[in-house]
Amino acid sequence: MLVFIWIIVSLSTNNGALGQEEKCQQLGYCVTLSTTITAEAGLCAVIPCSFKSEFEPKVIMWFKCEKPQYRCTYSDHVFHSDKSNTDIQSGFKGRVSLLEPDVTQKNCSFIINDLRKSDSGYYLLRVEGEGEKDTFFYTVAYTSLSVKDLNQKPEVKIPPLIEGQQVTLSCTAPGFCSGSPPKITWMWRRKGEKDSHIQGNITASKTENLTAVTQSHSSTLTFKPSAENHHNTNITCRVSFTGNETRKRTETLNVNYFRKPQIFGKTTVKEGDDLNLTCSVDSFPPSFIKWTKVGTETDLQSNILNKSYNSTQTFLNESPHNSSLLIINVTSEDAGRYICTATYQNDTLTEEVIVHVTSNHVTHCGVGCAALPWAIAGVSLSVNVLCMIYIWLLW
């Protein structure tokens, strides 16, 4: 005996199944399915469906109808469990399959891969089986599948980047099923520049089966980061699905690096002038910068140090990468060796300079100093005259 069962089901998306309903008819025939499902183009939709019956199912077919009607023509069907039947809508060939191929399990759930917006609509289930007598059952139950634009973005994982140390980045495509593996592309750019292909070892898209119907598609990028080429640049993972559905995610690369301190400014100043030295440390994240003077107990490290002795004032101004030491109205006591110490995580580097203070002291000796050259000239003239007289007498 053959039994024919028709069920209207509206397609829904994989990630948006709402509550399920059970509809029952005579002879213990009940169908349970989701009322509404939403999905995104390029991914997949899983339509949960199961039934109970007193007959043994033999064939399961799914039809797509333009309206929630209870009968569709054979030209409307998108899946047939008998693989010898090839009368399938061309747009659905190879994209629709049952989650459970064994129809006797009474699991009518099916999946549509590589979703298109045109897949939205109503789907009808037909089950053929053997019972005590020929009977037709029509179940007034359907689900609505709505396929929206792809909004999910790829997931990009970036471990800590340390200059010169090899690192691997990963990009996972959005969604957990699509059917056809997506194309994953890595791009990067500096500020103000166009996207370009990044240099490194890029793996092709890798597929990992998570469950019977879910898969994860990912790609990795391995390279050695440098501050000059990669720090503060943008990297983009772009994922392209069937049907020109493309999504991307952009992240900023921050490379950990540390450079030796550099000191800028004049190291020779006159008394009364200002000494202005700047210690610059290029690093990420910023280093802790400290100024010290050798041979003194003066603490030069504070947000603003205003330490006065006599008429001298000392200031310390700090920013993330610089620390400026300013001494106003320097004296000879300010001469000496100054050290800039940069502490970066567990590393410490120093740079030092020697400051020279020149004197402005001038000797003032009044009128006597002005007459001294004339006195010397007079004495010299007298000596010369005496010598000439002495020589004349000898003759």
The answer to whether residue 383 is domain-embedded is no
Residues 249, 276: one domain?
no
State the Rg of the chain over Cα.
44
Residues 7, 133: one domain?
yes
Residues 266, 252: one domain?
no
On the CB side of 276, CA atoms within 13 Å amount to 3
pLDDT given for residue 77 in this prediction? 85
pLDDT given for residue 164 in this prediction? 95
Residues 7, 144: one domain?
yes
Residues 354, 296: one domain?
yes
For the chain, how many structural domains are there in total? 3
Q: Per-block average pLDDT, block size 10, for the chain (395 residues)?
A: 44 53 78 88 91 85 79 80 85 91 92 93 83 60 85 95 95 84 86 58 68 80 92 93 90 96 96 95 94 76 47 71 92 92 93 93 53 56 59 57
pLDDT given for residue 23 in this prediction? 80
The answer to whether residue 340 is domain-embedded is yes
Residues 135, 227: one domain?
no
The answer to whether residue 298 is domain-embedded is yes
- The pTM (predicted TM-score) of the whole model is 0.71
pLDDT given for residue 33 in this prediction? 87
pLDDT given for residue 265 in this prediction? 96
pLDDT given for residue 317 in this prediction? 76
The answer to whether residue 107 is domain-embedded is yes
pLDDT given for residue 85 in this prediction? 81
Residues 248, 270: one domain?
no
Q: What CATH number is attached to the domain comprising 134? A: 2.60.40.10
The answer to whether residue 381 is domain-embedded is no
The answer to whether the CB of 140 falls within 8 A of the CB of 148 is no
Token pair belonging to 304: 């603003």
Residues 239, 279: one domain?
no
Reduced 3-state DSSP string for the chain: CCEEEEEEEECCCCCCCCCEEEEECCCCCEEEEECEEEEECCCCEEECEEEECCCEEEEEEEEEECCCCCCCCHHHEEEECCCCCCCCCHHHCCCEEECCCCHHHCECCEEECCCCHHHCEEEEEEEEEECCCCEEEEECCCCEEEEECCCCCCEEECCCEECCCCEEEEEECCCCCCCCCCEEEEEEECCCCCCECCCCEECCCEEEECCCCCEEEEEEEEECCCHHHHCCCEEEEEEEECCCEEEEEEEECCEEEECCCEEECCCEEECCCCEEEEEECCEECCCEEEEEECCCCCCCCCCCCCEEECCEEEEEEECCCEEEEEEECCCHHHCEEEEEEEEECCEEEEEEEEEEEECCCCCCCHHHHHHHHHHHHHHHHHHHHHHHHHHHHHC
Residue 187 CA to residue 198 CA, distance in Å, equals: 6
Residues 26, 89: one domain?
yes
The answer to whether residue 196 is domain-embedded is yes
List the domain range (segments joined by +) for residue 306. Answer: 259-358
The answer to whether residue 342 is domain-embedded is yes
pLDDT given for residue 362 in this prediction? 56
Last residue of a domain, one of 106, 127, 148: 148
pLDDT given for residue 306 in this prediction? 46
Q: Are strands 144-148 and 36-40 parallel, antiparallel or unpaired?
A: parallel
Last residue of a domain, one of 257, 283, 308: 257
pLDDT given for residue 395 in this prediction? 53
